[in-house]
Structure 1
Amino acid sequence: MKHSIFIVEDDPNIRDIVSTYLKKEGYHVSMADNAEDAWELTKEHAPNMWILDIMLPGMDGYELCKKIRQQSEVPIIIISAKDEEVDKILGLELGSDDYLTKPFSPRELVARVKRLFKRVDTSNTSNEQQDSDYYELGELKLYVDGRRVFWKGDEVEVTTKEFDMLHILIRNQNRAFAREELLALIWGEDYFGSDRAVDDLIKRLRKKIDGLPVETVWGYGYRLSSINEESE
């Protein structure tokens, strides 16, 4: 079954070039030049991945990213002429999986698309093979089958990368991970972004799971501590 990708980009040249490269790789591609039309078109048939420009007429790419994340955990790649770190961090905070600055190589974008799909497909295969995988730490419960997270009995909606982070940490309780190591494990060895992405991911998890026993190892990284597993 072909993966479907929706491109939301108001520059017709970029839109057509990206579409051509993706179609050559066998992907089913849909396109729109604004967020409002894209959102309406995908209410019935949601894509397997989104590629979003930020500076769109009307609703911008950030707002569309936020709306997508409220309903779906499919991969999102942001493409933007904004190359400031704050813009990249904002995109990650809203739930995007990758951020590519214009101008970019279409081949690089295709490589990132393939990498994200490979991670999702591998994760789904792993879930099918490990139906009984289950982790518990105090009030935190994580089910690999279905990629579900529960905190104090309530289910917590998490993104793909948020789940991956929790999965790594809960499987290695009390082990300290360097930011660079987490970046490679979650984003891949070929990710070119800043390790600030790791800090942002932890920040999002702490916000969603109040009391999560993840500790900052100053100047190094993070660990999930079993010392604090007692519920308050």
Structure 2
Amino acid sequence: MKNKIFVVEDDPNIRDIVVAYLKKEGYEVQMADNAEDAWEMTNKEQPDMWVLDIMLPGMDGYELCKKIRQISEVPIIIISAKDDEVDKILGLELGSDDYLTKPFSPRELVARVKRIFKRVDVSSNSVTDTSHEVKLGDLTINTDDRRVFWEGKEVEVTAKEFDMLNILIRNQNRAFARDELLELIWGEDYFGSDRAVDDLIKRLRKKLDGLPVETVWGYGYRMRSHLEENQ
């Protein structure tokens, strides 16, 4: 079954090139030139991935990203002419999985799409425990359907938030360097700042108040196996 990708880009030249390259790789592609029409498309079907521009007429890409994250955890790749770090961080904070700055090579976009689809079902090769459900205190994750439960209630998380939890909970008490987490979750050829790791942890702590993730100052993070040690 082909993976379905929604492409939202108002520049017809960029849109046509992106669509052509993705179709050549065997993906099913739907396209829109504005966020409102793209959002309407979700009433009929849901994609396996979004590729969306930020500078769109009407609703911008950031707002669309927020709306997508309210109903779905599918990967989102943002493409934008804005290359400031603050814009990239904002995109990641809103739940995007990658950020590609214009101008970019269509081949690079395709490579990132492939890499994300490859990772989406497997959190990390470093995880040796293959059990389907893992528990730690009030936290339960199920790797079969990628669901997260906190204090008995299901919590919606993004693909990268789940990957982070899966890595940390299966390697309790092990300290991971930020660079290591960046490579495990975003891929070895990701060139963004390790600030993305901090922002991901910040989002998880907000969603899971009391999560026993400990900051290892100047290094990274670890998941404590005993909740009382994190208090």
TM-score (norm 1): 0.93
Root-mean-square deviation (Å): 1.6
Local SS of the residue matching 1:150? strand
In the alignment, structure 1 residue 172 sits paired with structure 2 residue 171: yes
Structure 2 unaligned spans of 5+: 124-129
Match of 1:214 in 2: 213
Instruction: Please give the residue correspondences for 1:112-123 in structure 2 after superposition, counting only pairs within 5 Å.
Output: 112-122=112-122
Aligned partner of 1:146 in structure 2 is 145
Shift of 1:2: 1.0
Matches within 5 A, 1:132-211: 132-211=131-210
Q: Share of identical aligned residues, percent?
A: 81
Which amino acid is 2:91 matched to? G
Contact kept, 8 Å, 1:138 with 1:231, in 2: the verdict is no
1:73 — aligned with what? 73
Q: Secondary structure at the match of 1:215?
A: strand
Residues in 2 aligned to 1:211 and 1:60: alpha-carbon distance in whole angstroms: 34
Q: 1:120 offset after TM fit, Å? A: 2.1
- CA distance, structure 2, for counterparts of residue 30 and residue 138 of structure 1: 43
Contact 1:135 1:143 in 2 (8 A): yes
- Matches for 1:11-50 after TM superposition, within 5 Å: 11-50=11-50
Moved more, 16-25 or 137-146: 137-146
Contact 2:5 2:30 in 1 (8 A): yes
Structure 1: tracts of 5 or more residues without a match: 124-129
SS in 1 for 2:26: coil
Amino acid at match of 1:39: W
TM-score by length of 2: 0.93
Alignment-mate amino acid for residue 141 of structure 1 = T
The count of residues paired between Structure 1 and Structure 2 equals: 225
The yes-or-no answer on 1:225 pairing with 2:228 is no
**Which residue number in structure 1 is paired with residue 57 of structure 2?**
57
Identify the range of structure 1 (112-121 vs 75-84) with the bigger mean alpha-carbon deviation: 112-121
> Structure 1 segments of 4 or more deviating over 3 A?
229-232
